[in-house]
Structure 1
Amino acid sequence: MMIHEGRIQAAFDSGVFVLKLCGDVRLTLCATLDSQAQRLSQTPGLRAVMIDLREATNVDSTALGFLAKVAMAVQGKLEQPPTIVADHPDVQRMLDVMGFERYFTLVESPITEPCELSDLPEVPADEEGLRHRILEAHRILMHMNEHNREEFQPLVEMLEAQEAASHQH
């Protein structure tokens, strides 16, 4: 099976923002996800957010952290929490374990298929920006539940130490 490089597509139609993750979504796409989270929190007329993971073969923990950030960016602004569409058992299990059902409505298929999606241009990230985002993503995940706190504590501590060391030079 070919691993497809990750892509992020998006559409905004009649108040519904759709974010579709395809292929292998890793930390390299985090800057793009982050800019979407920030943009969403300021989008006028936003009524619903749907994240489509049906074509994602893998979503790493950093990318998951930014999906959680998307949910937090729109918290209190929408009538219902964002929806995640995931039909792959591994992805569903991962979302369960990570505690995503507290922040999202998890479904296997959308009520309606989204309109035309366009590829989002990849936002480049330098090494320091990347490290900062990985740290932020895992801090967000740690706040979601106890399992994540235990799972990511060592990584977060290591990244914080790296960040502290890089600021001393």
Structure 2
Amino acid sequence: MSTGHVEYASLNGTHFFKIIGEVRAQSCISLDKLLGKIEQQSTNMVSAVVDLTQTTFIDSTVLGILAKLGIKLKQKHAIQSVMLSTNPDITTLANSMGLGQVFAILTCNEETRVCTKVLPDDDLTQKAMLTTVLDAHKTLCQLNRSNKNVFEPLVKQLEKEQDALKCSH
């Protein structure tokens, strides 16, 4: 289980996402839904900041969802999103997954202080979880060949599971 959480704040078109503690796939369904809502309603999108200054662990699903955020903002709004990190291991992980292609990754010396609200844990249905994990890993595969080589077998397996779920309903 995840021992961390995601927080969010927005002001005048700037969206601020704070990843706190050890955050895994279970904690990011609400983040993925929030990104969908932001994408639908944001005509005044100015910037996005992903704060990893208090992140102790982040899994590939969360990184994939963040990659999707960076890609969409770059493509639809011509916005260069910013990622803040104080932990060299987290910075190295983000860069190795190709997030440096869609984020300006800045190394900070201290944690940021922004008033954010905790995103609630959403319904953890098997279908919602599967869709979120699959979409996140497909996004990572798009970033670079290394990710594609690493995650393609997982993507294929998740697609089979998704097909099986569709057939059973």
State if a TM-score over 0.5 links the two structures.
Answer: yes
Post-superposition offset of 1:166 = 2.5
Structure 2: where are the runs of 5+ without partners? none
Q: Which residue of 2 aligns with 1:145?
A: 144
Is residue 2:161 matched to residue 1:130? no
Q: Which residue of 2 aligns with 1:117?
A: 116
CA RMSD, 1 decimal: 2.1
Question: What is the distance in 2 between the residues matched to 1:47 and 1:114?
Answer: 20
72-81 or 129-138: bigger deviation: 72-81
Q: Which residue of 1 aligns with 2:23?
A: 25
142-151 or 11-20: bigger deviation: 11-20
Question: What is the distance in 1 between the residues matched to 2:151 and 2:90?
Answer: 18
Indicate the SS of the match to 2:123. Answer: coil
- Aligned AA (1:27): A
Number of equivalent positions: 166
Q: Which residue of 2 aligns with 1:94?
A: 93
Question: What is the distance in 2 between the residues matched to 1:134 and 1:10?
Answer: 20
Q: Matches of residues 4-83 of structure 1 in structure 2 within 5 Å?
A: 5-41=3-39, 42-78=41-77, 80-83=79-82
User: Cα deviation per residue 1:19-48 (whole Å; 9 max; x = unaligned)?
Assistant: 000011111122111112112222242211
Post-superposition offset of 1:15 = 2.6
- Aligned AA (1:30): C
Aligned 8 A contact 1:40 1:70 in 2: no
TM-score, normalising length: structure 1: 0.88
- Aligned AA (1:67): L
Indicate the SS of the match to 1:22. Answer: strand
Indicate the SS of the match to 1:68. Answer: helix
124-133 or 136-145: bigger deviation: 124-133
Question: What is the distance in 2 between the residues matched to 1:35 and 1:52?
Answer: 18
Question: What is the distance in 2 between the residues matched to 1:164 and 1:4?
Answer: 27
Indicate the SS of the match to 2:61. Answer: helix
- Aligned AA (1:137): A
The list of structure 1 runs, each at least 4 consecutive aligned residues, that deviate by more than 3 angstroms after superposition, is 76-80, 112-115
Is residue 2:162 matched to residue 1:163? yes
135-144 or 5-14: bigger deviation: 5-14
Q: Residue 62 and residue 118 in structure 1: after superposition, are their counterparts in 2 closer, same or farther (change >3 A)?
A: same
